[in-house]
């Protein structure tokens, strides 16, 4: 193996690192053969110097090669993956997976838990009593083929380099680097042999990328990495300047997803799910966008997507009655308290990250990796930017374990809002797409 100091020095001085040297460095670090201080020096050099597309692709390849890849032999349906870079009230996957299944596609989703102020699909699903996300490899593949969708926890041997590098980045202030994030995200996508990846790159106050510029750079680089690998990918940049849906929690998100799957709830979360499903149908079935959208909406409105969700929940040991009467099954918080607007005017801005953090502090997320979460806790926030608020009107609900916690969360929500006397235009939902169109 090349001396790690040569790899660090090359990055420090802005010289190209030969692919095999980068590969050796990353895999040796994942095996514990390179100390944290050398990996930290490399990460900081990469953070400051950046990486070009070829180097980011080489890093991604090395990270994938550090562990096992998933086998999906036996799945005959076209397999699509949809991944969000993380946001607030972002339950797209909960709705997208069964919707895609009902459209004849397959979603084999290996998911993570909540990260920082953002929610995680596994935590949300596990709020359904009995539902398991630790699935054996065989059972996972069988479910993908038979039901059309399965959502399971990532195993320890999938991209182990990402686990150790992410923890080191977290401890060395090197998380927010476009190439490092792109390699981290794409390595986990490419280690699963799907046919098409849909990436939702979030931009705004509730995202890790606060500006559309940064989110666009990330989406474009992820699309390039996918192309370099030979995987079909479309990467969107979408709005996260406010919560996407209304529910910021776990059981609350499941209940909202069930409403959307019932065809009963319009709004930005619904619209984004339909946008991604339309992309998938257009890609696999060669349909034009109009025709694809009509098909997606038809399947959603007919109840077929909801039936797929019930099958997925049941296959993973959960109570499928959650799709008929969510609150007969889901846990409820002891204190449910309304949030009343304290001003009159137009909602102009929302500190979405603060809403996510307030929900975490209610128990919906973790401060430490091993913290237990409270599946019933969270916040429902109703208005969207541009909506008219009247002082005293109910704009949301806090679900908490006691009055003090709920009161504190309600205060934080109000403090996170900017209200204007002048009308405000709603932000766009999708800022742009990267990667080859079907
Ligand atoms: N999500 C990831 O998977 N990796 C990152 O680096 C950031 C967000």
> pLDDT tens digits for 371-392?
889 999 999 999 999 999 999 9
The residue ranges of DSSP E strands in 173-219, in sequence order, are 196-203
C-beta neighbour count of 8 within 10 angstroms = 21
Q: Which atom of ligand 1 is nearest to the CA of 175?
A: 6
Query: What residue's CA is closest to ligand 1, atom 2?
Result: 185
Residue 246 to residue 381: CA distance in whole angstroms: 5
| pLDDT range class, residue 118, cuts 50, 70, 90 | confident
| pLDDT range class, residue 117, cuts 50, 70, 90 | confident
Candidates 3.40.1030.10, 3.30.70.360, 3.90.1150.10, 3.30.70.2660; correct CATH number of 79-324? 3.40.1030.10
How distant, in Å, are the alpha carbons of 206, 310, 333, 396, 404 from that of 245? 12, 21, 20, 12, 26
Please report the sign of the dihedral spanned by the C-alpha atoms of residue 395, residue 401, residue 404, residue 405: negative
Query: What residue's CA is closest to ligand 1, atom 6?
Result: 181
Contacts of 359 (CB under 8 A, 6+ apart): 88, 117, 119, 248, 249, 365, 377, 378, 379, 409
Query: Is 196 within 8 Å of 233 (Cβ atoms)?
Result: yes
Domain limits, the chain? 4-50, 79-324, 332-420
The residue ranges of DSSP E strands in 274-404, in sequence order, are 335-340, 345-350, 378-381, 388-389, 394-400
Query: What residue's CA is closest to ligand 1, atom 5?
Result: 181
Residues 64-99 have pLDDT tens digits of 999 999 999 999 999 999 999 989 999 999 999 999
pLDDT at 113 over 80: no
Candidates 93, 169, 184, 202: which one to mutate for ligand 1, based on the most atoms within 8 Å of Cβ?
Answer: 184
Query: Strand, coil or helix: what is 99?
Result: helix
Query: What residue's CA is closest to ligand 1, atom 3?
Result: 185
Percent of the chain with pLDDT over 70: 100
Residue 398 to residue 359: CA distance in whole angstroms: 9
pLDDT at 437 over 70: no
185 CB within 6 A, ligand 1: yes
The overall pTM is greater than 0.75: yes
Give pLDDT, residue 116. 78
Query: Is 406 within 8 Å of 351 (Cβ atoms)?
Result: no
Residue 422 to residue 375: CA distance in whole angstroms: 39
Mean per-residue pLDDT for 113-127? 86
Residue 94 to residue 309: CA distance in whole angstroms: 8
Query: Is 140 within 8 Å of 72 (Cβ atoms)?
Result: no
Residues 186-226 have pLDDT tens digits of 999 999 999 999 999 999 999 989 999 999 999 999 999 99
| Cα of 85 from ligand 1 centre, angstroms | 7
Give pLDDT, residue 65. 96
Contacts of 298 (CB under 8 A, 6+ apart): none
Return the CA Rg of the chain.
22
Give pLDDT, residue 438. 45
Overall CATH class of domain 332-420 = alpha beta
C-beta neighbour count of 39 within 10 angstroms = 23
410 CB within 6 A, ligand 1: no
Residues 312-325 have pLDDT tens digits of 999 999 999 999 99
With CA atoms as reference, report the closest residue to 206 among 414, 398, 350: 350
Q: Which residues are catalytic?
A: 83, 162, 169, 184, 188
Residue 331 to residue 327: CA distance in whole angstroms: 7
Name the DSSP letter for residue 147. T
Give pLDDT, residue 371. 85
Name the architecture of domain 4-50: Up-down Bundle (1.20)
Instruction: Report the chain's mean pLDDT, rounded to a whole number.
Output: 95
Long-range contacts of 135-142 (CB under 8 A, 24+ apart): 135/316, 137/70, 137/71, 140/108, 141/71, 141/72, 141/73, 141/74, 141/75, 141/108, 142/74
The residue ranges of DSSP E strands in 257-384, in sequence order, are 335-340, 345-350, 378-381
| Cα of 388 from ligand 1 centre, angstroms | 35
With CA atoms as reference, report the closest residue to 129 among 318, 377, 324, 372: 318
pLDDT at 61 over 60: yes
Residues 249-292 have pLDDT tens digits of 999 999 999 999 998 889 999 999 999 999 999 999 888 999 99
Pairing mode of beta strands 107-111, 80-84: unpaired
The residue ranges of DSSP E strands in 119-195, in sequence order, are 149-153
Residues 127-145 have pLDDT tens digits of 999 999 999 999 999 999 9
| Cα of 162 from ligand 1 centre, angstroms | 9
| Cα of 235 from ligand 1 centre, angstroms | 15
């Amino acid at each position: 193996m090349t001396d790690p100091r040569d790899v660090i020095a090359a990055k420090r001085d802005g010289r190209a690192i030969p692919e095999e040297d980068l590969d050796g460095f990353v895999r040796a670090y994942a095996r514990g053969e390179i100390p944290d201080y050398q990996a930290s020096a490399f990460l900081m050099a990469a953070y400051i110097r950046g990486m070009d597309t070829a180097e980011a692709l080489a890093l991604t390849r090395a990270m994938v090669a550090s562990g096992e890849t998933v086998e999906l032999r036996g799945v005959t349906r076209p397999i699509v993956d949809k991944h969000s870079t993380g946001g607030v009230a972002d339950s797209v996957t909960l709705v997208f997976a069964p919707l895609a299944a009902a459209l004849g596609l397959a979603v084999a989703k290996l998911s993570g838990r909540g990260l920082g102020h953002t929610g995680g699909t596994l935590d949300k699903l596990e709020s359904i009593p009995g539902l398991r996300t630790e699935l054996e490899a065989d059972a996972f593949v069988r479910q993908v083929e038979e039901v059309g969708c399965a959502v399971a926890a990532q195993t320890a041997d999938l991209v182990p380099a990402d686990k150790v590098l992410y923890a080191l980045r977290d401890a060395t202030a090197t998380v927010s680097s476009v190439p490092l994030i792109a390699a981290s995200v794409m390595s986990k996508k490419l280690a699963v042999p799907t046919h098409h990846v849909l990436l939702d790159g979030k931009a705004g106050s509730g995202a890790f990328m606060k500006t559309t510029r940064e989110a666009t750079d990330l989406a474009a680089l992820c699309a390039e990495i996918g192309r370099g690998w030979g995987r079909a990918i479309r990467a969107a940049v979408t709005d996260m300047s406010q919560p996407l849906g209304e529910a910021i929690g776990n059981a609350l998100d499941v209940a909202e997803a069930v409403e959307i799957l019932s065809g009963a709830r319009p709004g930005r979360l619904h619209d984004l799910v339909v946008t991604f499903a339309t992309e998938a149908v257009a890609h696999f079935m060669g349909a034009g966008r109009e025709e694809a959208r009509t098909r997606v909406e038809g399947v959603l409105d007919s109840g077929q997507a909801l039936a797929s969700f019930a099958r997925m929940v049941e296959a993973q040991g959960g109570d499928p009655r959650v799709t008929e009467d969510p609150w007969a099954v889901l846990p409820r918080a002891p204190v449910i308290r309304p949030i009343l607007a304290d001003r009159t005017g137009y909602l102009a801005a929302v500190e979405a990250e603060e809403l996510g953090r307030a929900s975490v502090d209610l128990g919906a997320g973790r401060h430490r990796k091993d913290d237990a979460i409270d599946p019933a806790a969270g916040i429902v926030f109703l208005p969207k930017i541009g909506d008219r608020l009247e002082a005293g009107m109910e704009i949301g609900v806090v679900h908490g374990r006691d009055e003090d916690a709920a009161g504190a969360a309600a205060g934080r929500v109000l403090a996170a809002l900017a209200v204007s006397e002048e009308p405000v235009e709603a932000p766009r939902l999708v800022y742009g797409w990267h990667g080859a169109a079907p």
